[in-house]
Each structure stands twice: as structure tokens, then as C-alpha cells.
Homo-oligomer: A and B are copies of this chain.
Amino acid sequence: MMNIGKAAAASGVSAKMIRYYESIGLLPAARRTDSGYRFYTDEDVHVLRFIRRARDLGFAVADIGELLALWRDQGRASADVKRIALGHVAALERKIAELQGMVDTLRMLAAHCHGDARPDCPILTDLDAGGGR
């Protein structure tokens, strides 16, 4: 039995975000004291840490909802969990490839830029010309 500040400190999820997750339905409405304060159990903190960890792994809130449902379902098939995880891996890798493409282009352009007081710069020239696309 603890209030939202304690639960936040114990789980690593801010009080602000706990209320937000409740508002969007990721978490069930917390029980309240007579005066209206939310209160949480150790079990609730456990769930919050699950969410925190999943966020750290880059899962979107919608994905976490699915994972939470599977987590709670003792009869789940591990294939369902694996599918979500690998789908997320694929999305992450697409993003990485996209960013890496940007890095490669910029590094190439920067390599040809004097980087001194002279004004001519292939980086600007490329932006100017649209990169030949």
C-alpha cells in the first residue's frame, strides 16, 4: 500500500506517466483512498516495472498493451510473444538502416568539406542540388 509517488520511485515510471497510462487504458484505474489518492501494491509496482522495461526496449505503448495481456495470460503461447518481439526488431532495424543511410551520406559529404574559413562547401552544394535524386 503506497501512494503514487512511492510507486513511481519504486518502479522508475514517473507519477505523471502512471496517470497517463491509466488515462489511456494501459493500466486499470487505480484504487483510491477516501480522500481520492491513488494507492498501489507491490504487485502494481511489478506491472509498472514491466512497462518501464518494455519502454526501454523501444516498444510502443500499444505493443506493451499486447505484451501485458500475454504476460497476464498464463496459457499464452510463447510464439505470440516472440512474434511481437521479432516484429519490433524488424521495425527497429528498418529505422537503424534509415539513420545509417543518413550518416553515410553526411560523412561522405563532410569528408569532402575543407572545414576551414573558406565558404565553398560540398555539404551545402549537395543540399542545394537535391543530392542528385
Contact = CB atoms under 8 A, between A and B. Distances in A.
A60 interface: no
A108 to B, nearest CB: 11
B50 A121 contact: no
A54 B130 CA distance: 9
Contacts of A70: 124
A1 to B, nearest CB: 22
Q: Is the interface of A mostly helix, strand, loop or mixed?
A: helix
Interface string A53-80: 1101110000000010011011111110
A82 interface: yes
Contacts of A32: none
Copies in the complex: 2
Contacts of A6: none
A97 to B, nearest CB: 10
23 contacts: A50-B128, A53-B130, A53-B131, A56-B102, A57-B105, A71-B128, A77-B116, A77-B117, A78-B119, A78-B120, A79-B116, A81-B113, A81-B121, A82-B123, A83-B115, A85-B109, A85-B110, A86-B110, A89-B106, A89-B107, A89-B110, A96-B96, A96-B100
